[in-house]
């Protein structure tokens, strides 16, 4: 099994950024900004370099965090180890239709 490193910016993040292209079954060792390995996740699909991997299961409609802040909402159930991108995550930034008042 290939071991790949990903970066989790904040301890509350639901995703981490991958530093190498992955294939299903690759073990992803997730490190924090301190360089310590926080956890390991098995990729369940191919994930391109620079993209996000889900660190836990994410329910439909759940807010997704990166950088310790919400980056969007899940539009589908996202399994731990899956690619997180525009196909399953809807950004909440710049959404005029979401403005209240």
The torsion region of residue 68 among left (phi > 0), alpha (psi -120 to 50) and beta comes to left
How do residues 41-85 score in pLDDT, each as one tens digit?
999 999 999 999 999 999 999 999 999 999 999 999 999 999 999
Domains of the chain in sequence order: 3-94 (2.30.130.110)
How do residues 1-30 score in pLDDT, each as one tens digit?
556 789 999 999 999 999 999 999 999 999
Beta carbons within 8 Å of 23's beta carbon, 6+ residues apart: 2, 43, 46
Instruction: Report the distance separating Cα 43 and Cα 5, nearest Å.
Output: 11
Residue 61 contacts residue 36 (beta carbons within 8 Å) = no
Q: In the chain, count H helices and then E strands.
A: 0, 9
């Amino acid at each position: 099994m290939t071991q790949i490193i990903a970066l989790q910016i904040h301890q509350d993040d639901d995703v981490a950024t991958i530093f190498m292209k992955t294939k299903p079954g690759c073990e992803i060792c997730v490190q924090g900004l301190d360089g310590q390995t926080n956890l390991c996740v098995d990729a369940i699909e191919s994930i391109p370099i620079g993209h996000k991997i889900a660190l836990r299961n994410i329910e439909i409609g759940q807010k997704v965090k990166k950088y310790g802040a919400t980056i969007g909402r899940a539009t589908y159930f996202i399994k731990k180890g899956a690619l997180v991108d525009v196909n399953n995550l809807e950004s909440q930034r710049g959404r005029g239709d979401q403005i209240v008042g």
